[in-house]
């Protein structure tokens, strides 16, 4: 009987050791080696339709991530700052947004990485004025009411433009409005100017509601947009970051190769003429590229300026958040 108990104990120990070895071999989980078990990827977009609308309808992300057992959820936002807030609270994994929200997020110690460049930044942000406005230069904005979404890339563009013109922010009336609030305020004359981004620039200029007072190319202030990922997600699943960018590139190439179809699709979504959409694409052509040293240097200018005027509380080194490895791998 004593011999039987000894052999039983040995058998139990052997089973436990084998179990531990198998667990270590499968990556430390007990789900048959699938480290994505129960994982949902949350993708943030600004508005509905457009390039992301095609990808959502075709379920390109769902199909590719689904092959790995990963689910996909979409979340819509009006501007960049709410996106970085969602990333800070672990409610969002990926987002595409402008340069200023990224600077503010880094200064607030929100953990993220910039993984590719979305827009060049020359013409996608502008200050627009009513078509019948007599304003000629940024200097003419002194004493005027200007709508802008706080913390957006247009917010940075506006303040840098005012500084270039020698206008203090106390010498203008900044009205902080999201696009859905700014549009009626602009149309009714409640504000004299609107610092905004595309598609709002093109939608208003090509429909005869507005004209451009100045944009990035004229002012010499770039407003590039980027794709970012929550840092913890990237650290855990670098291969999924690359996969995300591969699917995005598929969507971008679809637009390039099916431009007429894309233009008609976007025009129908926004209920505007195709010519308006053509103007939007010319002004804000989507790219998906590694971020150059020159763009990072421009981003540093934005960060330094925002610190000087007190919009962020500490100096930051913007290069700390840029990581091109994922997009370089995705584009191979």
pLDDT, one tens digit per residue, over 139-159 is 999 999 999 998 888 999 999
Q: Both 188 and 256 in a single domain?
A: no
Determine the pLDDT at residue 276: 84
Give the range among 22-31, 58-67, 246-255 with minimum mean pLDDT.
22-31
Please name which of 114, 314, 148 lies closest in space to residue 224, comparing C-alpha atoms: 114
Percent of all residues in the chain with a pLDDT value above 90, rounded to a whole number: 73
Whether residue 32 lies inside any domain: the answer is no
Q: Both 100 and 169 in a single domain?
A: no
Looking at residue 79, which CATH number applies to its domain? 3.40.190.10
Whether residue 246 lies inside any domain: the answer is yes
Whether residue 97 lies inside any domain: the answer is yes
Q: Both 162 and 309 in a single domain?
A: no
Q: Both 321 and 243 in a single domain?
A: yes
| Cis omega (within 30 of 0) for bond into 199 | yes
Provide DSSP, 198-253.
TTHHHHHHTTTSEEEEEEHHHHT----EEEEEEHHHHHH-HHHHHHHHHHHHHHHH
Residue 127 has phi, psi (to 5 degrees) of -105, 120
Q: How confident is the model at residue 12 (pLDDT cuts 50, 70, 90)?
A: very low
Q: How confident is the model at residue 33 (pLDDT cuts 50, 70, 90)?
A: low
Taking the model in full, what pTM does it have? 0.81
Taking a C-beta distance cutoff of 8 angstroms, is the pair 229, 139 a contact? no
DSSP bridge partners of 214: 127
pLDDT at 104 over 90: yes
Whether residue 14 lies inside any domain: the answer is no
Determine the pLDDT at residue 50: 86
Determine the pLDDT at residue 215: 94
pLDDT at 282 over 60: yes
pLDDT at 83 over 70: yes
CA 28-29-32 angle, 5° bins: 125
Taking a C-beta distance cutoff of 8 angstroms, is the pair 58, 198 a contact? no
Whether residue 5 lies inside any domain: the answer is no
Domain boundary among 219, 234, 250: 219
Instruction: Kindly tell me the sign of the dihedral angle through the C-alpha atoms of 265, 268, 272, 273.
Output: positive
Alpha carbons 310 and 306: distance in angstroms, whole number: 6
Q: Both 142 and 210 in a single domain?
A: yes
Whether residue 143 lies inside any domain: the answer is yes
Determine the pLDDT at residue 34: 79
Whether residue 276 lies inside any domain: the answer is no
Determine the pLDDT at residue 95: 97
Q: How confident is the model at residue 315 (pLDDT cuts 50, 70, 90)?
A: very high
Q: Both 93 and 113 in a single domain?
A: yes
Q: Both 166 and 194 in a single domain?
A: yes
Q: Both 131 and 208 in a single domain?
A: yes
Give the range among 29-33, 42-46, 85-89, 244-248 with minimum mean pLDDT.
29-33
Determine the pLDDT at residue 280: 83
Mean pLDDT value of segment 8-27: 38
Mean model confidence pLDDT for the chain: 89
Q: How confident is the model at residue 24 (pLDDT cuts 50, 70, 90)?
A: very low
Which range marks the domain in which residue 138 is found? Answer: 125-219
Whether residue 51 lies inside any domain: the answer is yes
Taking a C-beta distance cutoff of 8 angstroms, is the pair 250, 133 a contact? no
Q: Both 54 and 174 in a single domain?
A: no
Determine the pLDDT at residue 151: 83
Q: Both 252 and 130 in a single domain?
A: no
Q: Both 179 and 309 in a single domain?
A: no
Give the range among 1-5, 284-288, 295-299 with minimum mean pLDDT.
1-5
Please name which of 55, 222, 240, 44 lies closest in space to residue 123, comparing C-alpha atoms: 222
Torsion of CA 261, 286, 248, 263, to 10 degrees: -10
Torsion of CA 296, 110, 248, 61, to 10 degrees: 170
For residue 189, the SS3 value is: coil
Determine the pLDDT at residue 120: 92
Q: How far is CA 167 from the centre of its chain?
A: 30
Q: How confident is the model at residue 169 (pLDDT cuts 50, 70, 90)?
A: confident
Please give the tally of structural domains in the chain: 2
The DSSP element (H or E) to which 94 belongs, if any, is strand 94-98
Q: Both 169 and 303 in a single domain?
A: no
Mean pLDDT value of segment 2-20: 41
pLDDT at 256 over 80: yes
């Amino acid at each position: 009987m004593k011999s039987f108990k000894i052999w039983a104990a040995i058998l139990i120990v052997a089973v436990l050791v084998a179990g531990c070895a198998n667990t270590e071999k499968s990556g430390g989980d007990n789900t048959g080696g699938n480290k994505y078990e129960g994982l949902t990827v949350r993708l943030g977009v600004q508005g509905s339709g457009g390039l992301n609308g095609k990808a959502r309808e075709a379920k390109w992300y769902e199909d590719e991530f689904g092959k790995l057992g990963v689910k996909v959820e979409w979340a819509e936002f009006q501007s960049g700052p709410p996106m970085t807030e969602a990333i800070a609270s672990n409610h969002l994994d990926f987002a595409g947004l402008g340069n200023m929200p990224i600077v503010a997020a880094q200064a607030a110690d929100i953990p993220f990485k910039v993984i590719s460049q979305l827009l060049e930044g020359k013409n996608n942000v502008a200050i627009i004025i009513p078509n019948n406005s007599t304003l000629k230069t940024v200097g003419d904005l002194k004493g005027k009411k200007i709508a802008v979404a706080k913390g957006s890339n247009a917010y940075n563009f506006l303040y840098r433009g005012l500084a270039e013109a020698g206008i203090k922010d106390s010498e203008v009336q900044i009205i902080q409005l999201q696009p859905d609030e700014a549009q009626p305020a602009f149309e009714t004359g409640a504000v004299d100017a609107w610092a905004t981004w595309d598609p709002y620039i093109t939608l208003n200029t090509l429909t005869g509601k507005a004209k451009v007072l100045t944009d990035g190319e004229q002012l010499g202030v770039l407003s590039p947009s980027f794709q970012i990922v929550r840092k913890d997600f990237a650290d855990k699943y670098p291969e999924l970051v690359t996969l995300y960018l591969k699917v995005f590139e598929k969507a971008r190439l679809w637009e390039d190769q099916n431009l007429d179809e894309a233009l008609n699709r976007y025009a129908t979504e926004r209920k505007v003429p195709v010519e308006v959409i053509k103007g939007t694409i010319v002004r804000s052509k989507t790219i998906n590229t590694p971020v150059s040293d020159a763009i990072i240097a421009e981003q540093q200018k934005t960060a330094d300026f925002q610190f000087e005027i007190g919009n962020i509380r500490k100096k930051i080194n913007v290069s700390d958040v840029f990581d091109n490895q994922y997009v370089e791998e995705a584009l191979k």
